[in-house]
Structure 1
Amino acid sequence: MPVEIAIFGALVPTLLPILALSVVLYLLLDKWSSRWNLDRWVWHPALFRLSLFVIIFTALALGVYG
């Protein structure tokens, strides 16, 4: 189970790069969903965006720790 990663000599928790990757993937998916106007099919757009980020982050974290 990976606990720390050395980045430029500094030890950072494994979840920090996963968080950064999640933010990038979230921004790409959010841009794509805005382009296709998927917000009109969602009951609560802010809650949808938050859950999308949580799903991405959890999937990547489970890929590493699962």
Structure 2
Amino acid sequence: MGLHEWSWGGVFLSPLLVYAILALGLTFCVFWLLEFTPVWRWVWHDALFECAVFVLIFVAITWSLSDL
């Protein structure tokens, strides 16, 4: 797929927008699965943990779908 812009009605869209939406969906799925485990006992700052997991998933998606 790569990091090439798409033109949609004369507006250029970045693929990072699609990657971010995909990462957000996967992050929700991961946290839904983590609700059934005792992981939250060891998490000190919930918002910081959620942001870090989102960034890790976003970077993994971007790296795996970009042209190497």
Where structure 2 has 5 or more consecutive residues not aligned to the other structure, the ranges are none
Higher share of residues assigned helix: 1
Q: Which amino acid aligns with 2:15?
A: T
TM-score by length of 1: 0.78
**CA RMSD of the aligned region, Å?**
1.7
Where structure 1 has 5 or more consecutive residues not aligned to the other structure, the ranges are none
**What is the CA-CA distance between 1:37 and the residue it aligns to?**
3.2
In structure 2, the partner of 1:26 is: 27
Stretches of 4+ aligned residues off by more than 2 angstroms = none
Name the % identity.
29
TM-score by length of 2: 0.76
Whose relative contact order is higher, 1 or 2, with alpha carbons under 8 Å and at least 6 apart?
Answer: 2
